[in-house]
Amino acid sequence: MSLSPDLDQRIALVTGASRGIGKAVALMLARAGADVAVNYHERAEEARAVVEAIRALGRRAIAIGADVSSAAAVAAMTQAIAEQLGPVDILVNNAGIGLIRSIDALTEAEFDATLAVNLKSVFLCTQAVLPHMRARRWGRIVNISSGAARGGGGIGVHYNASKAGMEGMTRGYAARLAAEGVTVNAVAPSLIETDMMSARRDEYVKRIPLGRMGTAEEVAQAVLMVVGNPYMTGQTVQLNGGTQFI
Ligand code: NAP
């Protein structure tokens, strides 16, 4: 068994892959041999650049715009991927938003939007790709959670709820799908150098025992490890530079 899985002939969908962690995951999966659908919401140019980088590695790739909180958009996205690349074998639910809000400032609309993009999307995308994975009796689903699923976090209670819900769904799907060859795990980073963390970077970095933020590539490496391990399911892999309280 190799430490780096051979993903030749596998089709991956990474949501929110135009930048940040999703981009690094898309490139890492392509380097391991997968063809990749690069989902984005608004930043088409960035997504196209990721597609070009994957094609330069000799793999097939498409950019596909879709709001993952919309059932209709997710259905159209998975159909387009099936037609252009083939049905999805590896789903990485990475798309997310992190609106920094205090308890008093948080509105109902912001709470709902966060739950829709960060949590409902996991249900929508998973349900959309499962029929094919179950039919082939092989599938990998990796949900990008956060230390905020367990800690207090720096974003807000809406974000805590979305990520804790994601980890609950991870365990629920994993238990129901293990016998069918589909593994479902979460990777929970804390404090990774991306656009999402730029607003409070200097404040956050002081709280990390390792003395620096993590990189998107370090998160992608954990995703690849999970994808390569058929016996691991229902787990959350945390990576946080020793940070336990955020
Ligand atoms: P980021 O740099 O802000 O990128 C977010 C990505 O999600 C972008 O590709 C964006 O697309 C996409 N996206 C946002 N809303 C979407 C929607 N409705 N439909 C489809 N795509 C959507 O974020 P990041 O830091 O890489 O975070 C990625 C994931 O890791 C998130 O789930 C986040 O909660 C989680 N996470 C991050 C950290 C951290 O420290 N950075 C820590 C823990 C967990 P566009 O480019 O088109 O806008």
Fold of 11-245: Rossmann fold (3.40.50)
Q: Is the shortest distance between the CB of 213 and ligand 1 below 6 Å?
A: no
Residue 194 CA, ligand 1 centroid: distance in Å? 9
Across the range 27-42, mean pLDDT stands at: 98
Rounded CA-CA distance 77/67 in Å is 9
Question: How far is residue 224 from each of residues 23, 27, 41, 64, 227, measured CA to CA in Å?
Answer: 13, 11, 24, 22, 5
Q: Is the shortest distance between the CB of 63 and ligand 1 below 6 Å?
A: no
Q: Mind giving me the DSSP string for 109-151?
A: HHHHHHHIIIIIHHHHHHHHHHHHHHHHT-EEEEEE--GGGTS
Rounded CA-CA distance 139/104 in Å is 42
Mean residue pLDDT across the chain: 96
Q: Is the shortest distance between the CB of 20 and ligand 1 below 6 Å?
A: yes
Sign for the pseudo-dihedral over CA of 14, 18, 22, 25: positive
- Strands lying side by side in the sheet with 139-144: 61-65, 35-40, 11-14, 90-93, 139-144, 182-189, 236-239
Shortest-distance atom of ligand 1 to CA 193: 41
Has 159 been annotated as catalytic?
A: yes
Question: How far is residue 211 from each of residues 19, 201, 204, 206, 214, measured CA to CA in Å?
Answer: 24, 12, 10, 7, 10
Q: What is the pLDDT of residues 91-142, one digit of tens each?
A: 999 999 999 999 999 999 999 999 999 999 999 999 999 999 999 999 999 9
Q: Which backbone phi and psi does 218 adopt, to 5 degrees?
A: -65, -35
Shortest-distance atom of ligand 1 to CA 46: 46
In this structure, which amino acid lies at residue 156? G
Q: Is the shortest distance between the CB of 169 and ligand 1 below 6 Å?
A: no
Decide: 23 and 90 in contact? Cβ < 8 Å: no
Decide: 91 and 186 in contact? Cβ < 8 Å: no
Shortest-distance atom of ligand 1 to CA 147: 43
Q: Is the shortest distance between the CB of 159 and ligand 1 below 6 Å?
A: no
Q: What is the pLDDT of residues 169-181, one digit of tens each?
A: 999 999 999 999 9
Element (DSSP H or E) covering residue 12: strand 11-14
Residue ranges per structural domain of the chain = 11-245
Of all protein residues, the one whose alpha carbon is nearest to atom 43 of ligand 1 is 146
Q: Mind giving me the DSSP string for 153-202?
A: -SS-HHHHHHHHHHHHHHHHHHHHHGGGTEEEEEEEE-SBSSGGGGGGHH
pLDDT greater at residue 10 or residue 199: 10
Task: Inform me whether the pLDDT recorded for 245 exceeds 70.
Answer: no
In this structure, which amino acid lies at residue 94? N
Task: Inform me whether the pLDDT recorded for 204 exceeds 90.
Answer: no
